[in-house]
Amino acid sequence: MQSLALIENWPVPNAAAAVVRADGTLLGAHGPTGHRFPLASVTKPLAAYAVLVAYEEGAIELDEPAWPEGSTVRHLLAHTSGLAFDEHRATAAPGTRRLYSNAGFEVLGDHVAKATDIPFAEYARQAVLEPLGMTSTTLDGSPAKDGVSTVDDLVRFAAEVQAPRLLDPRTVAEAMTVQYPGTKGVLPGYGHQNPNDWGLGFEIRDGKSPHWTGSSSSARTFGHFGQSGTFLWVDPVVGVACVALTDRAFGPWAIEVWPAFTDAVLAEV
């Protein structure tokens, strides 16, 4: 795909990208796709998928009590637990505001580890990474932001979420459905959004503006971006997913080039 070559114009030291269909067909790839990049918050969809495996295995329930008091596993996955961004303290009542929270995913990791008696990084490896052949991916450290992976590995995950094998498709459909509709909040890097829609560990585009995906991205597009200059989106209307990893921190450069890149990819597909 010629559109993927646009990453060569990005003001970053290194970048790699690929586009994949649900059946795993790689439509194109560009750059060092085997290079391991820090994922930052693109770690969260991988962690969320492991949490959903724990749910399907019966280790946890989505609506069981978690922490802080009054919140559930579902609240934590949907960033409505009330926990602060990077602090393990509650700043709002559960379900009332969309407070994007790294702390919430760390609580999730601890919750699953306690329920399964397996460290979360190891549980995620056994539940998600190993079955998908993601041999270059690790989720050591915070399940919110410390993952490291490659484009080659993430296209496997992107194919999985489009055509689930590890999870019941109904569970994945729930994860891509807006949780607590109408909830306001701040989308990091893009300001206040009303509503600020999220599923279970995945951000949902809907009508958000401004946004890191393209103007031609469908409202059903879901995914995540990371502060390390990374993103993964899936557009189920078009039937493709795109992964792009860089080693420059998210900033104005990304706000400028990512939407145009996404629009070019979608136009070529």
Q: What phi and psi values does residue 52 have, to the nearest 5 degrees?
A: -70, -30
Query: What is the reported pTM?
Result: 0.98
As a whole-number percent, the residues of the chain with pLDDT over 70 amount to 100
What's the pLDDT tens digit per position in 200-220?
Answer: 999 999 999 999 999 999 999
Average pLDDT of the segment spanning 231-250: 98
110 band by pLDDT with thresholds 50, 70 and 90 = very high
Average pLDDT score over residue span 188-205: 96
Q: Which domains does the chain have, with CATH numbers?
A: 2-268 (3.40.710.10)
Map residue 16 onto helix, strand or coil. Answer: strand
pLDDT of residue 74: 98
Give the number of other Cβ atoms within 10 Å of residue 170's Cβ: 9
Q: Where are the beta strands (DSSP E) in the chain?
A: 15-21, 26-30, 37-38, 148-149, 185-187, 191-193, 203-204, 222-226, 230-235, 240-246
Q: pLDDT grade, residue 25 (50/70/90)?
A: very high
Q: Are 7 and 32 in contact (CB under 8 A)?
A: no
pLDDT of residue 105: 98
pLDDT average, residue stretch 179-206: 96
Region 5-12: what's the mean pLDDT? 98
Helix residue ranges, H only, 147-247 = 151-162, 169-175
| Confidence grade of residue 101 (pLDDT, cut at 50, 70, 90) | very high
* Contact (CB, 8 A) for 182 and 154: no
Mean pLDDT of the chain: 97
Confidence (pLDDT) at 164: 98
* Coil vs helix vs strand at 186: strand
Query: What are the tens digits of pLDDT across the range 30-67?
Result: 999 999 999 999 999 999 999 999 999 999 999 999 99
57-87: b (≥16 Cβ within 10 Å) or e: eebbebeeebbbeebbbbbbbbbbbbbbeee
